[in-house]
């Protein structure tokens, strides 16, 4: 079992991603996302088939901690592949014993396609398959950590961005194995992105669209209820007949750097049928990067120095198109140094005496010219004779 788990981690780690972030989806070609998340859920009551809320038998409780490792790769501006590897730790405090257990619950792989039909609205069909690593049986004595059945999800996600906020919603159809009822999952939400953080809120849930194989069977329903009471303290978190629930969630994400994002979330169920009434909280760390070839310098060959790109040497380039102001992470520019001013060349010394003589000579010339102009022309003729 340990060898198989290690092999799955090696295969899924670099390729598949978890589509754990169910908010606004980004499509930047060549971008990888890796996410490590955990979520805690606590329940001490159930919703019955009529939507009423009742406490667990003898004041029992059920709690579950999920751990997810997920990744997502954007092939181009329209296609992305994702996957998830999950592990669960559960504890039930029932009427006869306290049971706890940890198990690798399953793996999910899938694809999504941005159709690009409209300019202002993204229409994104999604398809995924969940493979369970554990099964649930009526005679088991260990606490349940998952539903333990195959799940095929066909989903249609839509999203749009406005000035200051984003809207998204989704509607899907989930086929479940082992004769379980098929579900209609849905969600609607809104996000407000800021410079270095993001806040959001959403409603989500599912409804049964077909009957469970044990629905209407007195023996089948009694046997299922007995198993749930024995191993899960009577909680309808898993293995219930025709479940449905309406859940709420508030979340925040902080940009630690252009590549790392830290997220927190919390909420509670609002109503449901044949499902657990829960409180939940979680946290996640996401790393987003874009592998790209780097430019290297090769030694000269025949005195011909050239720069070439080595396709086998990659570096990590962070994805900066995530709504965060990247100027906050750039170093401040150094103050520009002004070049020293050169002194103007010194003017040659002025000979003031020569200047005065020159001005006096000019005045004498002007006076002589004036006198000549005032002389009578007849006198000039006489002088000529």
Q: 207 near 234, Cβ under 8 Å?
A: no
CA dihedral 242, 63, 268, 245 (to 10 degrees): 0
Token pair 């194989």 is found at 213
DSSP labels, 41-71 = EEEEEEE-TTS-EEEPGGG-EEEEEEEEEEE
Q: pLDDT tens digit string along 128-151?
A: 999 999 999 998 999 999 999 999
Query: For residue 157, what are the β-bridge partners?
Result: 124, 170
- Among the listed residues 24, 28, 96, the one whose alpha carbon sits nearest the alpha carbon of residue 251: 24
Statement: residue 379 has pLDDT above 70: no
69 Cβ contact list (under 8 Å, min separation 6): 9, 12, 13, 18, 34, 35, 36, 84, 85
Helix (H) or strand (E) holding 207: strand 197-208
Dist. CA 70–CA 82, nearest whole Å: 8
In angstroms, the CA 291 to CA 303 distance is: 32
Q: Considering just the CA atoms, what is the radius of gyration of the chain in Å?
A: 40
- Report whether pLDDT(15) > 50: no
> In this predicted structure, which of 16-30, 84-98, 277-291 has the lowest mean pLDDT?
16-30
| pLDDT band (50, 70, 90) for residue 14 | very low
- Asked if 77 and 27 touch (Cβ cutoff 8 Å), the reply is yes
Query: Stretch 74-94: mean pLDDT, rounded?
Result: 94
Neighbours of 209 (CB within 10 A): 14
Provide the mean pLDDT of the chain.
82
Q: Would the pTM of this model clear 0.75, i.e. be above it?
A: no
pLDDT at 328: 62
Sign (positive or negative) of CA dihedral 110, 116, 117, 121 = positive
Q: Which residues pair with 265 in a beta bridge?
A: 251, 282
User: What pLDDT score does 283 carry?
Assistant: 97
- Which of 17, 44, 20, 43 lies closest to 32, judged by CA? 17
Per the CB < 8 A criterion, the answer to whether 45 and 77 are in contact is: no
| Calpha distance 327→46 (Å, rounded) | 49
The 10s digit of each residue's pLDDT in 218-254 is: 899 999 999 999 999 999 999 999 999 999 999 999 9
DSSP helix/strand/coil, 65? strand
Confidence at residue 114, expressed as pLDDT on a 0 to 100 scale: 93
Q: How far apart are CA 8 and CA 24, in angstroms?
A: 28
Averaged pLDDT, 7-34: 57
- Structure token pair of residue 229: 């009471």
Is residue 8 over pLDDT 70? no
């Amino acid at each position: 079992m340990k060898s198989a788990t290690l092999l799955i981690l090696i295969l899924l780690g670099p390729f598949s991603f978890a589509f754990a972030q169910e908010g606004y989806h980004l499509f930047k070609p060549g971008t990888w996302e890796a996410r490590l998340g955990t979520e805690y859920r606590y329940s001490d009551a159930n919703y019955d088939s009529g939507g009423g809320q009742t406490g667990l038998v003898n004041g029992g409780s059920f709690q579950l901690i999920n751990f997810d490792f997920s990744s997502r790769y954007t092939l181009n501006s329209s296609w992305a592949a994702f996957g998830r590897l999950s592990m669960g730790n559960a504890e039930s405090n029932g009427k006869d014993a306290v049971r706890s257990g940890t198990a690798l619950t399953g793996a999910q792989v899938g694809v999504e396609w941005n159709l690009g039909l409209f300019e202002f609205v993204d229409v994104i069909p999604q398809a995924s398959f969940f493979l369970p690593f554990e099964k649930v049986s009526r005679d088991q004595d260990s606490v349940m950590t998952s539903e333990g059945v195959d799940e095929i999800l066909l989903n249609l996600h839509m999203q749009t961005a406005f000035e200051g906020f984003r809207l998204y919603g989704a509607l899907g159809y989930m086929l479940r194995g082992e004769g379980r009822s098929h579900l209609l999952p849905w969600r609607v939400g809104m996000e407000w992105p800021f410079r270095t953080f993001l806040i959001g809120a959403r409603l989500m849930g599912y409804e049964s669209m077909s009957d469970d194989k044990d629905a209407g069977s007195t023996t089948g329903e009694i046997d299922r209820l007995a198993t749930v009471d024995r191993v899960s303290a009577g909680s309808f978190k898993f293995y219930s007949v025709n479940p449905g629930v309406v859940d709420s969630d508030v979340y925040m994400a902080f940009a630690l750097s252009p590549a790392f994002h830290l997220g927190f979330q919390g909420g509670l169920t609002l109503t449901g049928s044949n499902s657990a009434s829960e409180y939940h909280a979680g946290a996640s760390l996401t790393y987003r990067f874009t592998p790209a070839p780097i430019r290297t310098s090769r030694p000269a060959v025949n005195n011909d120095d050239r720069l070439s790109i080595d396709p086998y040497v990659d570096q990590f380039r962070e994805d900066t198109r995530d709504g965060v102001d990247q100027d906050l992470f750039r170093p401040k520019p150094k103050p520009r140094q002004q070049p020293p001013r050169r002194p103007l060349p010194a003017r040659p010394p002025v000979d003031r005496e020569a200047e005065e003589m020159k001005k006096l000579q000019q005045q004498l010339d002007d006076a002589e010219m004036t006198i000549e102009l005032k002389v009578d022309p007849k006198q000039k003729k006489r002088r000529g004779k």
